[in-house]
Amino acid sequence: MENKRNSLKVASETALLVSVILPGGSVDAHQSLNELESLVRSAGAGVVGYVCQKRSRVNPALYVGRGKAEQIAQRAEQYDADVVIFDNNLSPAQIRELEKIIHCKVLDRSELILDIFASRARTAESRLQVELAQLEYTYPRLTRMWTHLDTVVGGAAGGAAAAVGGIGTRGPGESQLEIDRRLVQKRIASLRRQIQQIDKRKTRQVKSRSQHFTVSLVGYTNAGKSTLLNMLTGSQAFVADQLFATLDTKTTRWKLNRDLYVLLSDTIGFVRDLPHNLIASFHATLEEAIHADLLLHVVDVSHPQADLQIKAVHNVLTELGCDKKDILLVLNKTDQCDSTVRRDTFMTLYPKAVAISARTGVGIDRLIEVVSARVTGENVRLRVTCTQQDGRVAGFLRANGTLISEEYLDSQVILEAWLGRRQLPGLQRLKPSSCRIINPSKA
Ligand SMILES: Nc1nc2c(ncn2[C@@H]2O[C@H](COP(=O)(O)OP(=O)(O)OP(=O)(O)O)[C@@H](O)[C@H]2O)c(=O)[nH]1
Ligand SMILES: [Mg+2]
């Protein structure tokens, strides 16, 4: 039989979408197909129809029942679909069996996401990351589509091409599939090595920023992270109403007030059931978030599934080991909510959240205030003594806190002020004669 899966690209194809709802799943059919459609459109394809089935359990051979598979085949033919895309993750054997019944290409959700990533990857770094994730995920699912790799492997692994096509490799009895496997494994090993180097470089880069307070924007794809980065820092990060617009990290200086600035990073958006390989391959890109002092979890609060998206982001953060970090929930797109009731409901559920609109600027002042408080730490009341000639101490307190009183006594000056706890080391560096906390917290 002719192999349908010689290319996994879905751009400009017509797709029939299939969703199988199992008991205990996090989404209903409508939500599942809605998001799948957004993913398909983001991949550049068009949707010609939908099929949904509720099942009590997966059919091991075909995922769906045989009758349903035949119905999907009929629909695909009727609508002239190029590809059938499942919102579920299928095993290689299930894809093979389904393609015997449905006479067109069958893809699963992870392959679709990987395809979007592949089409968006611009930098050499993200290209390598996507290629590795794609090879690892799709390689057991494909047959005989890897021969193009011989030149690639040759370039990367030094002379492997000759070995692959040459002596000792095409021995009697060795099937094309075995050669393909070897090519893929070589390419995977080479990509892993290159990505390891990138990871090391990135770790060094992130560490070099450790003297700065770092803030990372995380959140579901399309929540408005890049728009917020642009609004806060005047940057020109790419913004688009499509899923996975951002694939690379961008770190910019964010000036919170006259004397306080932090480093703010934008990163790749998350999605429900993000393929594991992708998370692993994008480790370097996610490094900024992993090491940030504060995460701003941006939520599109106007989205009907905002609550599910918050949970999905938590799941990815847990997988990255970031769930114990300081996380501030930012409820974005409040300008787009039908009524204030929706925003208020989320504020009741998450009382520490900050409601904003990255488009209109509403709530940005409050966000800056809350982040500044996180940067400086809780306010403490201090009594500081220094010599009258030393104007730097009073200057520091005025610039970074609130100076309450100055009392001159002999050659000394006694200052009382409110200051963020995290700024105490900065004050100590000016070596005042004495410094004492007299009241640990400010209301
Ligand atoms: N109405 C409204 N739209 C917004 C707001 N913030 C962002 N958007 C729009 O939402 C879409 C996605 O914005 P991005 O900033 O690209 O979102 P992102 O979170 O960076 O998305 P990815 O990089 O794809 O993960 C764009 O069309 C923005 O113009 C907002 O506060 N209100
Ligand atoms: Mg973005």
CA end-to-end span of the chain, whole Å?
A: 74
Q: Which residues have C-beta within 8 Å of that of residue 107, sequence separation ≥ 6?
A: 8, 10, 83, 84, 85, 86, 115
Q: What is the mean pLDDT of residues 397-421?
A: 90
**Mind listing the pLDDT tens digit for each residue in 144-192?**
444 444 444 433 333 333 333 333 333 334 566 676 778 888 899 999 9
Q: Reading across the β-sheet that carries 83-86, which strands appear in turn?
A: 46-54, 14-21, 83-86, 105-107
In the reported structure, the alpha carbon of residue 333 is separated from the centroid of ligand 2 by a whole-number distance in angstroms of 14
Identify the residue whose tokens are 């069958």. 106
**Rg of the chain's alpha carbons, rounded to an integer?**
28
Identify the residue whose tokens are 């051979």. 61
Which run of H or of E encompasses 100? helix 92-101
Q: Are 102 and 67 in contact (CB under 8 A)?
A: no
Tell me the C-alpha distance between 116 and 42, whole Å. 7
Beta carbon of 302 within 6 Å of any ligand 1 atom:
no
Give, for ligand 1, the residue of 35, 235, 239 to mutate: max count of ligand atoms closer than 8 Å to Cβ: 239
In single-letter form, the type of residue at position 178 comes to E
More confident residue, 207 or 140: 207
- Domain 14-115 sits in CATH at 3.40.50.11060
Which of 149, 156, 183 has the alpha carbon at shortest distance from 169? 183
Say what the pLDDT of residue 147 is. Answer: 44
Within 10 Å of residue 268's Cβ, how many Cβ atoms?
25
Tell me the C-alpha distance between 47 and 85, whole Å. 10
In single-letter form, the type of residue at position 128 comes to L
Beta carbon of 134 within 6 Å of any ligand 1 atom:
no
pLDDT class of 1 with cuts at 50, 70, 90? very low
243 Cα nearest atom in ligand 1: 24
In the reported structure, the alpha carbon of residue 190 is separated from the centroid of ligand 2 by a whole-number distance in angstroms of 29
Within 10 Å of residue 175's Cβ, how many Cβ atoms?
10
For residue 403, what are its two tokens? 């100076």
Beta carbon of 225 within 6 Å of any ligand 1 atom:
yes
Which of 297, 299, 296 has the alpha carbon at shortest distance from 307? 299
Identical fold at 14-115 and 377-439? no
Beta carbon of 203 within 6 Å of any ligand 1 atom:
no
Domain ranges of the chain: 14-115, 121-207, 214-375, 377-439
Q: What does 115-175 look like in DSSP terms, one character per residue?
A: HHHHHH--SHHHHHHHHHHHHHHHGGG--S--TTHHHHHHHHHTSHHHHHHSTTTS-TT--
Q: What is the mean pLDDT of residues 317-322?
A: 91
| Confidence check: pLDDT of 78 > 70 | yes
Say what the pLDDT of residue 340 is. Answer: 85
Beta carbon of 401 within 6 Å of any ligand 1 atom:
no
| Poorest-pLDDT segment among 5-14, 15-24, 413-422 | 5-14
Which contacts of 399-408 are long-range, i.e. CB under 8 A and separated by 24 or more positions?
A: 399/258, 399/259, 400/259, 400/260, 400/376, 400/426, 401/376
| Confidence check: pLDDT of 199 > 70 | yes
In the reported structure, the alpha carbon of residue 250 is separated from the centroid of ligand 1 by a whole-number distance in angstroms of 16
241 Cα nearest atom in ligand 1: 27
Say what the pLDDT of residue 148 is. Answer: 45
Say what the pLDDT of residue 152 is. Answer: 45
| Poorest-pLDDT segment among 52-61, 166-175, 201-210, 341-350 | 166-175
For residue 59, what are its two tokens? 């059919």
Provide the percentage of residues in the chain whose pLDDT is more than 90.
47
Q: Are 330 and 297 in contact (CB under 8 A)?
A: yes
For residue 424, what are its two tokens? 């105490």
More confident residue, 391 or 335: 335
**Mind listing the pLDDT tens digit for each residue in 29-76?**
888 899 999 999 988 889 999 999 999 999 999 999 999 999 999 999
| Ligand showing the shortest atom-to-Cα distance for residue 243 | 1
Three-state DSSP state, 84:
strand
Q: Does the structural domain 214-375 have CATH classification 3.40.50.1970?
A: no
Question: How does strand 14-21 pair with strand 46-54?
Answer: parallel
Say what the pLDDT of residue 384 is. Answer: 95
Say what the pLDDT of residue 266 is. Answer: 94
In single-letter form, the type of residue at position 189 comes to A
Q: Angle of helix 283-291 relative to helix 124-138, nearest 10 degrees?
A: 110
The residue contributing the CA closest to ligand 1 atom 30 is: 333
Beta carbon of 296 within 6 Å of any ligand 1 atom:
no
358 Cα nearest atom in ligand 1: 31
Q: Reading across the β-sheet that carries 412-420, which strands appear in turn?
A: 402-409, 412-420, 379-387, 434-439
The residue contributing the CA closest to ligand 1 atom 12 is: 222
| Confidence check: pLDDT of 356 > 80 | yes
Within 10 Å of residue 129's Cβ, how many Cβ atoms?
28
Distances (CA, A) of 226 to 192, 231, 343: 29, 9, 21
In the reported structure, the alpha carbon of residue 285 is separated from the centroid of ligand 2 by a whole-number distance in angstroms of 13
| Ligand showing the shortest atom-to-Cα distance for residue 244 | 1
In the reported structure, the alpha carbon of residue 252 is separated from the centroid of ligand 1 by a whole-number distance in angstroms of 18
Which of 35, 21, 57 has the alpha carbon at shortest distance from 312? 35
Beta carbon of 363 within 6 Å of any ligand 1 atom:
no
The per-residue pLDDT of the chain, averaged, comes to: 85
266 Cα nearest atom in ligand 1: 20
Beta carbon of 333 within 6 Å of any ligand 1 atom:
yes
Q: Angle of helix 176-207 relative to helix 124-138, nearest 10 degrees?
A: 140
Q: What is the mean pLDDT of residues 261-287?
A: 85
Return the DSSP state at 352: T
The residue contributing the CA closest to ligand 1 atom 2 is: 333
CATH topology of domain 377-439: Alpha-Beta Plaits (3.30.70)
In the reported structure, the alpha carbon of residue 227 is separated from the centroid of ligand 1 by a whole-number distance in angstroms of 6
Instruction: Please name the residue ranges forming H helices in 208-249.
Output: 225-233
Beta carbon of 423 within 6 Å of any ligand 1 atom:
no
Beta carbon of 238 within 6 Å of any ligand 1 atom:
no
